[in-house]
């Protein structure tokens, strides 16, 4: 076990940080994160961290650059104040989609962010549903990637898939999410379907056809995030046109950038289930059928396990 646990929060998701602290029975330690007059980030740590086990809770959601710099500067401040160990708790890990070169002369920005995190003196990273799991290999420090799946699975089983499992179908909006959908379908004993799409440009997707039967069923579309919502809403229209009786969306990270809110509002979704890894904008929160699941218990359990050098594998849903 390391020194006394101490938790700080940046400005990205203070509400989630408060819920994590309540679950752990701790208060957020005093830390002021603001701006100088020229816009540079200013951090003042007002709590003693010498020898402490420090956890910095900060999603790198929009504005991603500001929130990333906040956690880096907070880590630098704690390192220089002789913190015993520093863990970045990043519920939503930004830049994760830039994990490989898809065209000449493109950067692998996820690797750059990993280097920055390590250079700032962080000893460990705790995150949830990385867009690309291989990003863990960009780090030379431990990275614990939690999954929202156990929470969603329990919620769906208790609240949504309560009737004949044959009347529900888990739908992957693209081929990349097939394994995720298959896992849900197997555990919930439902059917599955796949949307075959062809992407025509960045943040654009064209639905081609549906592999599987959705007619007369409740279609539950699963994804790791809702960004511009193009892929998800195209898939929703496709399954609705194919005769789905109801259409639900399930996604971990509610990014909701650009036209996402408008697209979701104009889509056939009856209900939308997301988590609180990213705080919703007022417009997104006002979407009809929006429901937010609380991830604080998962993060609190993981923080407690890390603090006591215990295994966190029990938080994963076994195959």
Q: Is the peptide bond before 288 cis (omega within 30 degrees of 0)?
A: no
Half-sphere exposure of 150 (CA within 13 A, CB side): 14
Global pTM reads: 0.94
- Residue 315 burial class via C-beta count within 10 angstroms: exposed 0-12, middle 13-18, buried 19 and up: middle
CA separation for the pair 98, 101 (Å, rounded): 8
| Domains, in order of start, for the chain | 5-146+296-315 (3.40.50.2020), 149-293 (3.40.50.2020)
Beta strands 191-201; 204-211: pairing state = antiparallel
State the first-to-last Cα distance of the chain, in angstroms, to the nearest integer.
30
Instruction: Determine phi and psi for 102, rounding to 5 degrees.
Output: -105, -5
- Range list of H helices, 178-254: 178-188, 230-241
Judged by DSSP in three states, 33 sits in strand
Q: In the structure encoding, which two tokens stand for residue 305, read together?
A: 């396990």
CA separation for the pair 80, 315 (Å, rounded): 33
Q: Which residues of the chain have pLDDT under 70?
A: 1, 197-208, 317-319
SS3 breakdown of the chain: % helix, strand, coil, rounded to 5? 35, 30, 40
Q: What is the pLDDT, as a whole number, of residue 199?
A: 57
Point out the residues that are catalytic. 197
Cα 148 off chain centre by: 8
User: For residues 15 and 4, is the Cβ–Cβ distance under 8 A?
Assistant: no
Q: In the structure encoding, which two tokens stand for residue 219, read together?
A: 């279609």
Q: At what angle do helices 296-307 and 14-24 cross, to 10 degrees?
A: 60
CA separation for the pair 143, 235 (Å, rounded): 33
Q: In the structure encoding, which two tokens stand for residue 220, read together?
A: 């539950």
Q: In the structure encoding, which two tokens stand for residue 43, read together?
A: 């951090």
Q: What is the pLDDT, as a whole number, of residue 71?
A: 98
Q: What is the pLDDT, as a whole number, of residue 318?
A: 47
CA separation for the pair 115, 138 (Å, rounded): 8
Q: What is the pLDDT, as a whole number, of residue 58?
A: 98
Strands (E), 76-118: 85-90
């Amino acid at each position: 076990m390391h020194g006394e646990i101490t938790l700080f929060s940046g400005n990205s998701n203070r509400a989630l940080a408060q819920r994590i602290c309540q679950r752990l029975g701790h208060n957020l330690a005093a830390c002021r994160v603001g701006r100088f007059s020229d816009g540079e980030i200013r951090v003042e740590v007002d709590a003693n961290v010498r020898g402490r086990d420090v956890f910095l809770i900060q999603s790198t959601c929009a504005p991603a650059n500001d929130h990333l710099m906040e956690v880096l500067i907070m880590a630098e401040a704690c390192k220089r104040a002789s913190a015993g160990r520093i863990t970045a708790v990043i519920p939503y890990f930004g830049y994760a989609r830039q994990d490989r070169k898809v065209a000449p002369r493109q950067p692998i920005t996820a690797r750059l962010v990993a280097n920055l995190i390590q250079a700032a003196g962080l000893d460990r990273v705790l995150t949830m549903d990385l867009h690309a799991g291989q990003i863990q290999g960009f780090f030379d420090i431990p990275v614990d990637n939690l999954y929202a799946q156990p929470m969603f699975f329990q919620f769906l089983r208790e609240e949504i898939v309560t009737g004949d499992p044959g009347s529900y179908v888990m739908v992957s909006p693209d081929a990349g999410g097939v394994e995720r959908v298959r896992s849900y379908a197997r555990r919930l004993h439902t059917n599955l379907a796949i949307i075959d799409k062809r992407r025509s440009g960045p943040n654009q997707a064209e639905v081609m056809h549906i592999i599987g039967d959705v007619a007369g069923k409740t279609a539950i579309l699963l994804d790791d995030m809702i960004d511009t919502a193009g892929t998800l809403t195209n898939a929703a229209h496709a399954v609705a046109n194919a005769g789905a009786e109801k259409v639900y969306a399930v996604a971990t990270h509610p990014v909701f950038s650009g036209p996402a809110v408008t697209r979701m509002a104009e889509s056939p979704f009856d209900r939308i289930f997301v988590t609180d890894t990213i705080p919703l904008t007022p417009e997104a929160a006002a979407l009809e059928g929006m429901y937010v699941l609380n991830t604080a218990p998962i993060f609190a359990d993981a923080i407690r396990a890390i603090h006591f050098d215990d295994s966190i594998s029990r938080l994963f849903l076994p195959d």
